[in-house]
Amino acid sequence: MTAIPRRRTSRTALLGAMCALVVTGTGLTGCSSDPDEGTNGVGKLPADQIQAKTRAAAESAKALRLAGNVVTSGRTYKLDMKLSSEGASGSVTAEGTTFGLLRVGEHLYVKADADFWTHADGKGDGSDSDAAAADKLDGKYVKVPAGDPSYKKFSGFTDKDVLLDGLLTLHGALDTDGHHEQAGTRTIRITGDEGDGGTLDVSLEGEPYPLRLARAGGAGTLTFSAWGKSFALAEPKKDETVDYGKQLPTS
């Protein structure tokens, strides 16, 4: 009399295991026929409406973390930045050289090693005078004057609104490309020009934040995380800072 319930229990367990296997392999949620069940509902919208909602969510968020690669003007930049409306902190790597960026309000600082400063403007010749000047800046927060040509270049990596406005753009006709998963979060993917214009994964859980962007033309891939999570920003200590006044030194 007890064998039948056990077989039913075993069959139920087997079906549950098969369901879990399918979920793991495809990124779908449960064995429901509706992949949008239990989500924020944006997966049911047309691609242009999804894009509008994810842009609005990104713009309203107080903070985020952005990481990945961006290819522009033939150069590849590796970014790992925490961004907020109040400023930013993080690092950028370009051509094998990494430098730190810190912006608190309008005050912008660059922190790098001596080698970075020796070749910062492409004119350094490795002379003793170059090395001496660079050694003064080695490992220090160098305050970038607002009027210096470098200010606009560096601050672009620290401006949340500027970065997101430039990055969250898909080119060509928009369409959806199924349900996916990013770092354990269910997403709906939208594409531009059938993927040639870039792809963007949008969260189906909570706010429809953008979570992963593959830029058009292989121009880099970025992930977005820690949406709305504030982080500490503070001016560096005086003994850690070098202020060169109106213009940064050149080699």
What is the domain count for the chain?
2
Whose tokens are 């003994």? That residue is 239
Of 223, 199, 220, nearest to 211 by C-alpha is: 223
Q: Tokens at residue 114, please? A: 């001596």
Query: Are 80 and 194 contained in the same domain?
Result: no
For the chain, 251 residues long, give each residue's pLDDT as a single digit of tens: 444 444 444 544 554 554 444 444 444 445 557 889 999 999 999 999 999 999 999 999 999 999 999 998 889 999 999 999 999 999 999 988 999 999 999 999 999 998 888 866 544 455 555 676 678 888 899 999 988 888 988 999 999 999 999 899 999 999 999 999 999 999 999 999 999 999 999 999 999 999 999 999 999 999 999 999 999 999 999 999 987 665 555 54
Q: Is 100 exposed, middle or buried (0-12, 13-18, 19+ CB in 10 A)?
A: middle
Query: Are 56 and 172 contained in the same domain?
Result: yes
Pairing mode, strands 87-94 and 75-84: antiparallel
Domain range holding 219?
A: 42-60+166-225
Query: Are 118 and 145 contained in the same domain?
Result: yes
Query: Are 158 and 236 contained in the same domain?
Result: yes
Q: Is residue 182 part of a domain?
A: yes
Q: Tokens at residue 22, please? A: 């399918």
Query: Are 176 and 158 contained in the same domain?
Result: no
Q: pTM of the full predicted structure?
A: 0.80
Query: Are 88 and 118 contained in the same domain?
Result: yes
Q: Tokens at residue 19, please? A: 């369901």
Query: Are 172 and 147 contained in the same domain?
Result: no
Query: Are 115 and 235 contained in the same domain?
Result: yes
